[in-house]
Structure 1
Amino acid sequence: MQDYLKKIEEELKRIEIDEHVRILYACESGSRAWGFPSKDSDYDVRFLYVRPIDWYLSIFEKRDVIERPISDQLDINGWDLKKALNLFRKSNPPLLEWLQSPIPYMEQFTVTEQIRQLSPLTFSPRSSMYHYLHMAKGNFREYLQGEYVKIKKYFYVLRPVLACEWIERWNSMPPMDFEELVEAILPASKLKEDVYTLLTRKKAGVEFDLEPKMTEINDYLERQIAYFEETAKQVPASGDKRDAALDALFREALREVWGS
């Protein structure tokens, strides 16, 4: 892990030099942050960056993402701050997850914390629930049909379903950590035991293949997906876009990073 932390730090610094940007924030966004990595899981590094002021003073649309090819388990890409703030005002769940990642790699300047402070005000329960529901439905349909299933894919349906339940109960952004979701949502039951059995195997580095489906978990997922397809329509769509505040935040970030 320490070797990869050094590699990640070096790659982020290299991106700053090669792309002439300043990275504001970088974090882990994938299974490692969710709490169920495999032995060969990539490091899914996501970052927010800002370019020099003159870059934004142009009549032309420019590429607002930086992506690096996956290499040696490093999957690194980032969003320009302007793009990120436009997605933030729409309550974009991946971005909101990044902001609360339990594995931060870099945080410079004050802008990221300012965005976090606005998160409860801009959060939209309905759009976030639809995001997780879409994820759960797609993975359930693709991986968990039939008597034999890709057993590790249960996590990629369980997590978004539990996230939907969190949003329904608390109207707030669900935590990234899978166990925190399980403990908050699932009562003591055979279902919870099966989920933890699966999690223990995955953490132990068991290489999953096609296995007989886990009926308790399958039934729960099918039932909850159908439930949230109806419930999501009734969830509040609130979420203040805070346009003036985000404009001011963007300008202040440019001044902080590059000077007046």
Structure 2
Amino acid sequence: MNEIIQKKLVEIEEKFQVKILYAIESGSRAWGFPSKDSDYDVRFIYIHRPEWYLSIDPQGIGGKRDVIDEPINDLLDISGWEITKALRLFRKNNPPLLEWLRSDILYYQKYSFVDNIKSLESQVFYPNSMLHHYLNMAKNNYREYLQGEQVRIKKYFYVLRPILACNWIEKYNETPPISFHELLEDIIPDSELKNEVNHLLKRKLQGDELDIEPRLKVINDYIENEIKRIEDYIKSLKIETKDPTKLLDELFRDTLKEVWN
């Protein structure tokens, strides 16, 4: 599959006349709990030629799309964000983008852009938007999949992971790691709860279907308590933010010069 992905990335560069700066795996494979039939979610950041930016129409408007979507088949989905879109999202602490920067499954990286944007993260980080993102993800998935006596049991991971991410932000005041295992080991102490989660994780990695099964009370109780606690924690925060636009403008211009000489 890696060879197929590499080939598709080259085809995208040629088709759209762009340079890809960074390409990684996102989703359950990167999070560490893929199913046996999990698809490949490839995400990338790219940059156009200088003349694309030197026009009266801003990027993202009309024909100047700032996204490339190339769904290949049911197993492989590839999409990317144009660099200025990525930088605007970085300015807002967009969690999916920050997860891309932490993916352990790297397909491609060239030029200094990713190293440079990572070096700026501590200067633009503020927890509110990330906490709201992860909390809403947990609440929505919990409400949709884990109510009642019989539940979609594999969805526990899609509620637990954002809850653990919120705990990491609260504990370290930084972007959480992408790995579910790393979050679990750091946040939840040895306990019945941790044993239940590890057992569920082992089943999922072994290929069990994990479809409709009786709810796991110890995990449900933890989720309900944490959602309420995190909601209260977010309300207590008072955060001052700085505008990093000048730094990000400079990074964009420097990358444009580096890539296109």
Q: TM above 0.5, one fold? A: yes
1:124–1:236 Cα contact (<8 Å) kept: no
Per the alignment, residue 114 of structure 2 pairs with: 112
Query: Does residue 35 of structure 2 align to residue 32 of structure 1?
Result: no
Equivalent positions of 1:31-110 (< 5 A) are: 31-60=28-57, 61=61, 62-110=64-112
**Normalising to structure 2: TM-score of the pair?**
0.96
Question: Counterpart of 2:143 in structure 1: which amino acid?
Answer: R
Equivalent positions of 1:172-211 (< 5 A) are: 172-211=174-213
CA distance in 2, matches of 1:236, 1:190: 35
Per the alignment, residue 16 of structure 1 pairs with: 13
Per the alignment, residue 245 of structure 1 pairs with: 247
Per the alignment, residue 142 of structure 1 pairs with: 144
CA distance in 1, matches of 2:237, 2:135: 13
Alpha-carbon offset, residue 238 of structure 1? 4.3
Question: Counterpart of 2:39 in structure 1: which amino acid?
Answer: D
**Normalising to structure 1: TM-score of the pair?**
0.96
Q: Which runs of 5+ in 1 are unaligned?
A: none
CA distance in 2, matches of 1:70, 1:149: 32
Alpha-carbon offset, residue 239 of structure 1? 4.5
1:90–1:241 Cα contact (<8 Å) kept: no
Count how many residue pairs are aligned between Structure 1 and Structure 2.
256
1:67–1:78 Cα contact (<8 Å) kept: yes
Alpha-carbon offset, residue 125 of structure 1? 0.9
CA distance in 1, matches of 2:240, 2:199: 38
CA distance in 2, matches of 1:103, 1:126: 27
Question: Counterpart of 1:172 in structure 2: which amino acid?
Answer: E
Per the alignment, residue 157 of structure 1 pairs with: 159
Alpha-carbon offset, residue 240 of structure 1? 3.3
Runs of 4+ more than 6 Å apart: none
- Once the two structures are superposed, what CA deviation does each residue of 1:158-183 show, in whole Å capped at 9, x if it has no partner? 00000001111110100000010011
